[in-house]
Structure 1
Amino acid sequence: MMGTLVLLLAGVGFVVALVAQAQAKRVDGDLAVLRKRLGAVEQELLRLRAGVAPVREPAPEAEPEPPPEAVHPSRVEVLPPEPGHVPPPRQPAAEAPAARPAPAARPAMEQALAERWLVWLGGVALALGGAFLVKMSVDMGVLGPTARVALGAVGGLGLMALGQVLRRRPAMARHVPPALVGAGAAMTFASVFAAHALYGMVGTVPTFATLAAVALLTAVLALSHGPFVALLGLAGAYAVPLLVSSSEPQALALFTYLLAVSAAMLVLLRWREWWWLAWVVLAASAGWSLAWMLLSWNGGDEIVLGGYLLALAGLFAAFRLGVPWIPALALPAEARQVGWVVTAAFLVVVALLALVSEAAGTSLTVRVLPFLFAIGVVAFGWRDAVFDRLPWLAAAVLAVVVWRGGAVDDGAVAGVVTLGILLFSFAGFALMDGAQRPWVWAATAAVSPVLLLVAAYARRPEAWPEWGWCAAALLLGGALVAAAERIARNREHPGLEAALAAVAVAVVAALALAVTTVLREAWLSVALALMLPGIAWVEWHLSVAGLRRVALLVAGAVLVRLAFNPQILDYALAEGSVVNWLLYGYGVPAVAFWLAARRFARSGADLTVTVLDGGAMLFAVLLASLEIHHVMVGGLTIAALPSLAETALHAATWLAGGVVAFVVWHKSENKVALWGGRLLLVLGGVTAVLFQAGLDNPLWTGSAVGEAAVLNVLLLAYGVPAVLFALHWRVAPPVPDWGGRLCAVVSVAFAFLWLSLEVRHAFAGPHLNQGAVGQAELWAYSVAWLTGGVALLAGGLWRGEAMLRRAGLAVVLVVVVKVFVLDLAHLAGLWRALSFLGLGAVLVTLGGAYRRFVKVV
């Protein structure tokens, strides 16, 4: 057990030594700067005594003189300058001793070693020596537990007193007193803890009080000995509840003690301007709160912990603003570090309040705590304009608490929402007048009520009828319109134009909520999407900077919900009907994104316009694809692989979308349309080639293609893609140059495949893999291919397109090979004769036409 005490003392001493090293480095830097300045002053004095002044040569061709040296007055000889005279080189004897940097390094190192390192090591040695002395006495049986504890406590207090006395002696090295105080505090802490934990001599409450008193004494002594002694006292004070545990811990006792320690420490740190130690206070306070919620939470603790968090926020607000009735702390703290730590403190309090609300379950009290926090934050933001955006944070946490209300009575939640709306609305509009940034308070007053109403609706939509939610949203929107009119009358004042924009955005949001409350599916996504054209309209008419970033955030939220939300697959749909929530769930956002993009583009294209254009295209494609899947399978779930008909519909939709996108790009040079068209072309082309022409080809899968001769699945799967690829050939962008030619080749290939499968369908019926190929069918392939080739040749001659002519000629050559290889081997009688006669007549006719018309072209 005593070994534990020795290790504790050694560890504390080692930490004290490390802290002292850091302080020593800072002091070394200050001393180096002072020595440099002192050397410069000494050189200047020597120069003045010698009567030597720096001479500037007016001639530009002359070489610049070296800087004058500091020399002894007895060696000075003043001569008039001569033209072209070069001064002799410097002699080593003329150098001043003060200008040599090398000898100064050794005294500085020696001084640091003697005055700092050895002093702190001496403090550690004192603490360890006392511990070893006590251990030796224990081993020899000389001292009992009482004597051991008493010697340790007396020794520790004696070292603290000695450090305080030596501080008043000018000849004493400056690091000796803090080292003695730190070592004494560590010894005293260890002695009191040993009396309680090792020997059981002192009860829990006296030990708790004694350790707290030692920590407080150490913090008070830090006023004279520096921030690192304060850090030691601060760490000890927050460690006391951990060292002195209880079988039945009580939240009230613990957090009352922590609040008192935090208040005392913040007063001390603010008084001495040790701003960085405030981070330690915040970390310790947050750590104890999290530890209690994870390890010792009991019913009813939400009241204590919530009150503690509110008080902690108030302490950090006072840390920034000051304490009026204490003269030394009356003025605000303007240091930048204070702003950062206070902001972080409010963020931590918000997060912890949300966790407390979640852990409290159905307690109504915890719903009131965020409301009280909101009141305090509004007051703090009004008092200090640097933190005027913190009310937004309070509104957000209040909305989260309302949304996660659990089983709390609807009436209670409605009361919290009503109070929140009144607080933010009246406070925001009232504090807007005379504020440094009126738009911040206008946004607080306008957006917060809409946010609270959305949170209440998201919590339990069935709490009110649909018309009730719609009426509430319209009533809120009307009130905001009235506020906007009031602001518009004074919009020429600085900041009020931006305030008007903030209120206008909130009006649009309220109207969107009113519309979407009557919808049962995807209501939040539609509501957010409807905000975008309104935001774009406000930005266009009021030219308010920053609204594009707001629109970008809203667009991102809609994209995540509609494009990456797997819960959409679970929404109910009317089986087989295209009139369902998909039409407005994706159609309205697509139109809203497109309208907002067009409005934003009037004042310049940027990332927001790009995202909105891309979102509009994505939602249109998703709407078509999901509707196709729903019609084909009766829902959105993916239970099996899609059929050939569904795959063909998807590919045709994507290819057609690519054609439209390329047409738009040709007219407007919209980069989103260009890249969207390319993506749709690749997606549709890969689907058609890989699945329709390959894996799902009915020629070997045997899937039914329908009874009709032409209007069947084959036309959709192969004929339509042939036409769409041909359109892509016509509208494809010039870069890359091979893209259009590739589309033309694929178009001819799909047309060739469609003709072939239609011939097979005419002889085999709906299942193409059944039945043998007869002579009539083999001859029919020649007729079909030859007809297609002739059509391509005719089209090429008519339109003057060399590619069409060459494609038609290639098909005719394929027919020639077929006739002379396959038909000659497998046909007989009349079918063989017809095959050769027909081919010959066509070739003769084409030869004449080709010789005649190609010359003209």
Structure 2
Amino acid sequence: MLVMLVLVVLGVVLFDTRTRMKRLETRLALIEMDTSLVRADLAPPPVRPSPFTRAPAKAQATPRPEPVAPVATLVEPAKVSRPEPAAPPPPPAPPIAAPEPAIGTPPVPAPVRQAAASSRPGSAFEDLFGRRLPIWAGGITLAVAGILLVKYSIDTGLLSPVVRVMLGLLFGGSLIAAAEGALRQEERLRDPRVRQALAGAGIATLYAAILTAANLYHLIGPTTAFAGLAAVTGLAMALSLRFGAPSALLGLVGGLAAPALAGSSEPNVPLLSCYLALAIGGLCTLSRTQRWLWLGVGALVGGAGWGSLLILTGALDVASALSVGLLILALGIGFPLLAFSGSRATLIRAVSATVAAAQMAALVATGGFAPLHWALFGLLSIALLWLSGHEPSLRRLVPVGLGIALLLAGVWPSPPLLSFTLVITGIAALYGSAALRRLWRPAGGLIEAGQVVAVALGGLAVAAIHFYRAAPADDIRFALIALLAAALPLSGMAQGWRRADRKHGARFVMLATGAAVLLTVAGAFGLPGWLAPVTLALVGAALLTLSEQAQDYRVEYSGWVFTFVALTSLFMGDRGMEESLRLIGDATAIAPLSAMLRWSVVAAVAALFAWRARFAEGRVVAQAAAAITAYGTVAQVVPALWLAPITALSLPLLAQATRRLSPQRLLPAIATMLLVVLLWAAWPLLHWTGQAMLSLVGQPMLASNLPDMSDMLRRLALPAALVALTLWRGRFGMIARRAGVAAAILMGAVAMHIGYKQLFAIDSHAGFIHAGLAERTVWEALLLGAGFVIWHFAQHRMVALGLIAAALAHSLFYSLFLHNPLWATQAVGTLPLITLLLPAFALPFVALSLTRRIAPDLTVRFDRPIQGAQMLLILFFAYNVLRQLFEGSLLNGPHLAMGEDIGRSVLAIGLAIGFLLRGIRIGNRDWRIASLLLMLSAVAKVFLLDAAGLTGLLRIASFLALGFSLIGIGWLYSRQLKSDAD
């Protein structure tokens, strides 16, 4: 007990010391400022050099002539009406060495010395510890002396307990009387801390005496002790008006601690609540009158602590619960409104009201959710509503109270239906009616709109948590409850429909969104689950229509959200998964009518948004969504076999619509359907691409490994034709048209190739050996013919060049390099020159000739590669024909006859002569160089290989042929080189 009292008194002392320290710091700062100004004023003037002191040569300057004063000024200064301006001062003398401080320095005046001395840290220390703190230390010492006096009498047994207590009371009263005497002798003492210390010591002594009588000697009961402590608290508050804040601080601590210090094991809760209300009310009143904010805040904090302690002690009877509830109401609403004013009052009231709401909720929960506790919470809610109306800045408190009320109702364990209905109805009546009343007034705003929506949605959610059992009767009942709850935001919308300021805020949008959610929930309860997308889509369409009628585009955004959720819900659940698989051709059994209803309604709403929405970027998305869901609608009832053609058929129909509407308005839908068409074509395209990639490494591209004719026609050929028709009938921009052309060409070319492969029907390796060269040759001829027709009749130069280039590349890569009959097993026919070799090797020449006619500029630029390709073609054709003369249809046999070997050398010499003649004729040096290379190769072969195996006339003939050939070539070269030199 002694330690507690010492701490209390020390707290008072430190509080006052802190205030005085601040004042001391302010005074010290002012003194330092004044001292610096005085020193600046008293600074000695600059020392002028003595006439006997020679200045340094560096500092010498040419003296200015002294200005001559006017004669009138020298003779009769009083008669001059306009005095001349004063002459400018002479320039300052150069600096010299500073004199000693004791020489020529004027003395500092006494006031300045005193001010400077008082600003030193040592004087501040002396002022604090020598003049101020001893007074408070004396007060503490007196309080401790009283306590020690009582303790001494106890230890020695000199006085009886009654006498000891009485002496303690008399000593405390004497100290208070001494404080009164110090107040009356203010003119002599001139220090208010003396009376404050005496009064604080007296109050602490009275507290100690009463607590000793009750807890140590048991001379008085808890009730009497409690009354005595309350009386001392009242005395402390009264003395604070006379002696200052320390007495109030003691009253605060003692008054709040008195119930705990009284020593009662079973307190009277109503009496305790009444005492706390009176004590805290008195402290708050004192705080307001004396403008001691800390006193009121401390009283409210202590009261909130007592309220929480009383709630946590256990179940309270009716009187106790009522008294605690009223105490919480006073602490949260009444006292903050009474005690505080100014800029900080709003924050304090908001925090107090929030704490009171939480404590009231705890009281309801610990009290078993009895009607009395709910009534107390309702009383607090009324107070919150009144407070928010009285002070508009506290409007945010109402949602806090509503949230706590709904949370309490949600955690109510097994509530009776009648009691729960009354509570929810009361919550809705209090908070909903107040929000509707303020909603469209000048002070109304989003808080009130959110409150209306929260009442409707929260009440429905809490009711569903407790009473929904997924029974048919519950579904109908909760659907009706949801419709009834939707009437609350709908009524708020109706109130503000004709108001001019409806568009200035988001209140109308929030109400519309809340009503839409409740209508959706009603549909979820009252309708089958598979109709959820339909309900969501219809609500989204209603919001779009409401946005147009209300001329508030923000409502449209809520409609977008509902429509997006509707679109997403189509793919959710088992039914959604089954219906979604129909989009990719899966033959899952479904309910076609219900599926068609789901997809068609969402498609119609998406189309409505694409047509009527104001959100331009959203319209693009809505149009794509409408196209997808329309396709999904068709997929629910049309067999998967016909989905690709029907999807492609939609393209020209949409293209025809672009003639009446802007192409940009339908372009997203057309692009979406084209994407679906390409997705259907993806499987045959990927299948064909895989085989084409394998063909690049030499594996034959067999017809049996490609998509069949049915897939080709449905997924590639017919869609390609319909895409082409779309491009013909529609009006599109350059980018869209090029994308369509690329898609049509891709699908059409692959379809044509698959169909062509099916005509030859090469389905085995033996078939590829027998007809592979013929198949490639005819395909290349078709490409060349198509290129020629497009160039000659349609005048599409680039398309023609593309087809011709494809034919040439196909021939060079597959027939000349990859599947050349010289090293690949390919049948060419048995009759010389009447075989597949002639058309196979003639087609590249035709392709190069057509390229030269169509694009002469390209042939000039790529002349050398073209000449090289022609040389290779001639060489391969000649050697293929030579090989055929000896081997027949298959040219890659392992055996080489002697005659064929000699024929190769002769053929090389002949080709060399031909290349030379052609190079001379067209004036191309590349042909001549190729001729030399062939001739050198032939010579090397004859000398190194052929001559070694020949004897007799054959060897002589070979050498003769080689000799004449070399002579002829040399003669031709000499003539050509001479003509070049000329």
Say if 1:317 and 1:380, in contact at 8 Å, map to a contact too.
no
Partner of 1:248: 266
Say if 1:782 and 1:815, in contact at 8 Å, map to a contact too.
yes
Q: Quick one: which of 783, 802, 805 aligns to 2:738?
A: 802
Query: Does residue 581 of structure 2 align to residue 644 of structure 1?
Result: yes
Partner of 1:750: 679
Query: Does residue 555 of structure 2 align to residue 537 of structure 1?
Result: no
Q: Quick one: which of 287, 290, 294 aligns to 1:269?
A: 287
TM-score (norm 1): 0.58
Residue 97 of structure 1, CA deviation: 7.4
- The SS at the match of 2:568 is helix
Partner of 2:787: 847
Residue 237 of structure 1, CA deviation: 0.8
Query: Does residue 29 of structure 2 align to residue 11 of structure 1?
Result: no
Partner of 1:710: 641
Partner of 1:23: 19
Say if 1:16 and 1:179, in contact at 8 Å, map to a contact too.
no
- The SS at the match of 2:321 is helix
Q: Quick one: which of 315, 325, 335 aligns to 1:306?
A: 325
Q: Quick one: which of 541, 550, 557 aligns to 2:507?
A: 550
Query: Does residue 559 of structure 2 align to residue 616 of structure 1?
Result: yes
Rounded to whole Å, the distance in 1 between the matches of 2:463 and 2:495 is 28
Residue 290 of structure 1, CA deviation: 2.6
Rounded to whole Å, the distance in 1 between the matches of 2:180 and 2:484 is 66
Partner of 2:191: 173
The amino acid of 2:528's aligned partner reads A
Rounded to whole Å, the distance in 1 between the matches of 2:154 and 2:653 is 100
Say if 1:593 and 1:615, in contact at 8 Å, map to a contact too.
yes
Residue 255 of structure 1, CA deviation: 0.8
Say if 2:706 and 2:754, in contact at 8 Å, map to a contact too.
no
Say if 1:402 and 1:455, in contact at 8 Å, map to a contact too.
no
Say if 2:626 and 2:669, in contact at 8 Å, map to a contact too.
no
Rounded to whole Å, the distance in 1 between the matches of 2:421 and 2:738 is 79
- The SS at the match of 2:233 is helix
- The SS at the match of 1:543 is helix
Counterpart mapping for 1:766-805 below 5 A? 775=704, 778=707, 780=709, 801-805=737-741
Change over 3 Å in CA distance of 1:140–1:354 after alignment to 2: closer
Rounded to whole Å, the distance in 1 between the matches of 2:445 and 2:712 is 78
Change over 3 Å in CA distance of 1:392–1:133 after alignment to 2: closer
Change over 3 Å in CA distance of 1:523–1:853 after alignment to 2: farther
Partner of 1:523: 483
Say if 1:535 and 1:551, in contact at 8 Å, map to a contact too.
no
Change over 3 Å in CA distance of 1:524–1:193 after alignment to 2: farther
Q: Quick one: which of 598, 609, 617 aligns to 1:674?
A: 617
Rounded to whole Å, the distance in 2 between the matches of 1:312 and 1:826 is 97
Counterpart mapping for 1:310-709 below 5 A? 315-316=334-335, 319=338, 335-338=342-345, 341-342=348-349, 345=352, 348-349=355-356, 352-353=359-360, 355-357=362-364, 359-361=366-368, 363-366=370-373, 369=376, 406-407=415-416, 413=422, 519-520=479-480, 522-523=482-483, 526-527=486-487, 530=490, 534=494, 537-539=497-499, 542-543=500-501, 548-551=505-508, 553-554=510-511, 571=525, 573-574=527-528, 578=531, 583-584=534-535, 586-587=536-537, 589-591=539-541, 593-595=543-545, 597-598=547-548, 609-610=553-554, 612-626=555-569, 629=572, 632=575, 644-645=581-582, 668=614, 670=615, 674=617, 708=639
Change over 3 Å in CA distance of 1:847–1:397 after alignment to 2: closer
Deviations 1:779-820 (A, max 9, x none): 547776577667767866886633333455556777899999
Query: Does residue 241 of structure 2 align to residue 223 of structure 1?
Result: yes
Rounded to whole Å, the distance in 2 between the matches of 1:186 and 1:835 is 118
Instruction: Tell me: higher relative CO, structure 1 or 2? Use CA pairs within 8 A at least 6 residues apart.
Output: 1
Residue 250 of structure 1, CA deviation: 2.9
The amino acid of 1:805's aligned partner reads V
Rounded to whole Å, the distance in 2 between the matches of 1:186 and 1:416 is 53
Change over 3 Å in CA distance of 1:243–1:601 after alignment to 2: farther
Deviations 1:615-652 (A, max 9, x none): 2111112234335546816xxxxxx9996348999999
Partner of 2:256: 238
Rounded to whole Å, the distance in 2 between the matches of 1:445 and 1:795 is 55
Deviations 1:503-533 (A, max 9, x none): xxxxxxxxxxxxx999437437744664686
Change over 3 Å in CA distance of 1:407–1:825 after alignment to 2: closer
Sequence identity (%): 20
Residue 419 of structure 1, CA deviation: 14
Say if 2:273 and 2:327, in contact at 8 Å, map to a contact too.
yes
- Ranges in structure 1 where 5+ consecutive residues have no aligned partner: 47-78, 321-332, 430-436, 462-515, 603-608, 634-639, 693-703, 761-772
Deviations 1:647-694 (A, max 9, x none): 9999999998999699569x85x3xx5379679989999x9xxxx9xx
Say if 2:357 and 2:401, in contact at 8 Å, map to a contact too.
no
Query: Does residue 312 of structure 2 align to residue 294 of structure 1?
Result: yes
Rounded to whole Å, the distance in 2 between the matches of 1:164 and 1:148 is 24
Rounded to whole Å, the distance in 1 between the matches of 2:333 and 2:609 is 60
Rounded to whole Å, the distance in 1 between the matches of 2:108 and 2:539 is 82
Rounded to whole Å, the distance in 2 between the matches of 1:186 and 1:719 is 99
The amino acid of 1:15's aligned partner reads G
Rounded to whole Å, the distance in 2 between the matches of 1:127 and 1:23 is 23
The amino acid of 1:8's aligned partner reads M
Say if 1:6 and 1:128, in contact at 8 Å, map to a contact too.
yes
Residue 369 of structure 1, CA deviation: 4.8
Residue 257 of structure 1, CA deviation: 1.2
Say if 1:20 and 1:120, in contact at 8 Å, map to a contact too.
no
Rounded to whole Å, the distance in 1 between the matches of 2:9 and 2:420 is 59
The amino acid of 2:738's aligned partner reads A
The amino acid of 1:674's aligned partner reads E
Rounded to whole Å, the distance in 2 between the matches of 1:141 and 1:317 is 50
Residue 254 of structure 1, CA deviation: 1.4
Name whichever of 18-27 and 812-821 sits farther off.
Answer: 812-821
- Ranges in structure 2 where 5+ consecutive residues have no aligned partner: 43-82, 94-103, 465-475, 586-594, 658-662, 690-701, 800-982
- The SS at the match of 1:520 is helix
Higher Cα Rg, which structure: 2
Residue 193 of structure 1, CA deviation: 3.5
Deviations 1:244-295 (A, max 9, x none): 3533333212111112212322332333233442222333333322322222
Rounded to whole Å, the distance in 2 between the matches of 1:199 and 1:719 is 106
Deviations 1:145-170 (A, max 9, x none): 87887776666555544444334433
Deviations 1:183-233 (A, max 9, x none): 444454345435544565543223222222222222222112323431331
Rounded to whole Å, the distance in 2 between the matches of 1:392 and 1:453 is 15
The amino acid of 2:544's aligned partner reads W
The amino acid of 1:255's aligned partner reads S
Say if 2:5 and 2:204, in contact at 8 Å, map to a contact too.
yes
Rounded to whole Å, the distance in 1 between the matches of 2:652 and 2:750 is 19
Deviations 1:550-604 (A, max 9, x none): 33554675698899xxx9998465265x3x6x655x35653454355446656xx
Change over 3 Å in CA distance of 1:151–1:838 after alignment to 2: farther
TM-score (norm 2): 0.52
Deviations 1:465-497 (A, max 9, x none): xxxxxxxxxxxxxxxxxxxxxxxxxxxxxxxxx
Aligned residues: 680
Change over 3 Å in CA distance of 1:824–1:627 after alignment to 2: closer
Name whichever of 586-595 and 206-215 sits farther off.
Answer: 586-595
Residue 128 of structure 1, CA deviation: 5.7
Rounded to whole Å, the distance in 2 between the matches of 1:398 and 1:343 is 15
